[in-house]
Amino acid sequence: MKKIAKQRLKGVYFYSVIVCLVYMYIMGDLGRTIFGLVYKYTMSSLGTTFIIFGDWTSSIPTLGELLPKSNLTYIILGALYLVIILPVVASIKWFFLDVADGEKTSWRVITGVFTRTNYLRYFQASLLILIFVVCWTFLLFIFGLVKSYSYSQTFRLMRDNPDLGALEAITLSRNRMRGHKFNLFLLQLSFILWFIIPIGVQIAGIATGNQNLEVLAGFLYFAILIFIGPYYQTTNAVFYREEIRYAPL
């Protein structure tokens, strides 16, 4: 699947990097401002990178940091997250599904979620997944992780099946992911090998109290995420294409 992903990225890699930068930023920082640690551990169902090492966005001011700290600010950020960020996450999955299918893609794919026919469906699905995964996580973290994999194909299935409602798509994803969750987990886990060097640098920095090493580790994380972000997202889309799209119920 990784080999297929590499082939599909030829010619669209730079474009995909830009999409990934936007994606990682809004998923990796704005969300944490609102939801804290629960967000960090439950957003894998919405397509974030499997493990986020380091605070690589710490030097880039987010919307939450630019606005004054108040309850009203958090309410505004929460509303923006629910009505804009969640649907955008779904549409970015469309983008990389097009890449995996070898189709020509553009920014219109991402903004297409805000059309009259798409928005309500994807907003409902995003909100339901968030609620389900958070509830399972509060019950037990491992339950939330497993459920996040069960629901992980919802948006791609909705793209392929425009008549599917939000709850129907979630149910279909859960059914088709039976017997595939661990395979997807291993596929995503394989990307951790890219982070061996920055992990070592960060551990050395913490152990010695050397802040320069910790800063270097942050830059290494960021560089690697830029490099493998499109590769990771496209590999996930290829997994759907090869294993889930026509999987028996």
**Residues 35-79: tens digit of each pLDDT:** 333 333 334 444 443 333 334 334 445 555 555 666 776 777 777
What mean pLDDT value characterizes the chain?
A: 77
> Which range has the worst mean pLDDT, 18-22, 172-176, 196-200, 206-210?
18-22
Two tokens, residue 40: 């960090």
Mean pLDDT of 153-169: 90
What per-residue confidence (pLDDT) applies to 49? 38
Alpha-carbon 120 to chain mean position: 20
Model confidence band, residue 162 (pLDDT cutoffs 50, 70, 90): confident
Q: Is the pLDDT of residue 143 over 50?
A: yes
Give the C-alpha distances (Å, rounded to integers) separating 18 from 33, 159, 165, 229, 235.
Answer: 23, 22, 30, 10, 17
Mean pLDDT of 127-132: 90
What is the tally of structural domains in the chain?
1
Two tokens, residue 135: 């509830």
> What pTM was estimated for this model as a whole?
0.76
| pLDDT higher at 108 or 183 | 183
Give the C-alpha distances (Å, rounded to integers) separating 30 from 38, 53, 136, 174.
Answer: 13, 16, 22, 28
Has residue 130 been placed in a domain? yes
| pLDDT higher at 181 or 12 | 181
What per-residue confidence (pLDDT) applies to 224? 82
Q: Is the pLDDT of residue 107 over 90?
A: no
Phi, psi (rounded to 5 degrees) for 120: -60, -40
Q: Is the pLDDT of residue 109 over 90?
A: no
Has residue 249 been placed in a domain? no
What per-residue confidence (pLDDT) applies to 98? 87
Cβ proximity of 158 and 244 under 8 Å: no
What is the C-alpha separation between 100 and 159, in angstroms, rounded? 14
What per-residue confidence (pLDDT) applies to 240? 92
Three-state SS string over the chain comes to CHHHHHHHHCCCHHHHHHHHHHHHHHHHHHHHHHHHHHHHHHHHHHCCCCCCCCCCCCCCCCHHHHCCCCHHHHHHHHHHHHHHHHHHHHHHHHHHHHHHCCCCCCHHHHHHHHCCCCHHHHHHHHHHHHHHHHHHHHHCHHHHHHHHHHCCCHHHHHHHCCCCCHHHHHHHHHHHCCCCHHHHHHHHHHHHHHHHHHHHHHHHHHHHCCHHHHHHHHHHHHHHHHHHHHHHHHHHHHHHHHHHCCCCC
What per-residue confidence (pLDDT) applies to 213? 84
What per-residue confidence (pLDDT) applies to 54? 39
Contacts of 82 (CB under 8 A, 6+ apart): 123, 127
| pLDDT higher at 96 or 73 | 96
What per-residue confidence (pLDDT) applies to 141? 86
- Give the structural domain span for 30: 2-244
What per-residue confidence (pLDDT) applies to 63? 54
What per-residue confidence (pLDDT) applies to 35? 39
Report CA torsion sign: 218, 232, 52, 194: negative
What per-residue confidence (pLDDT) applies to 144? 87
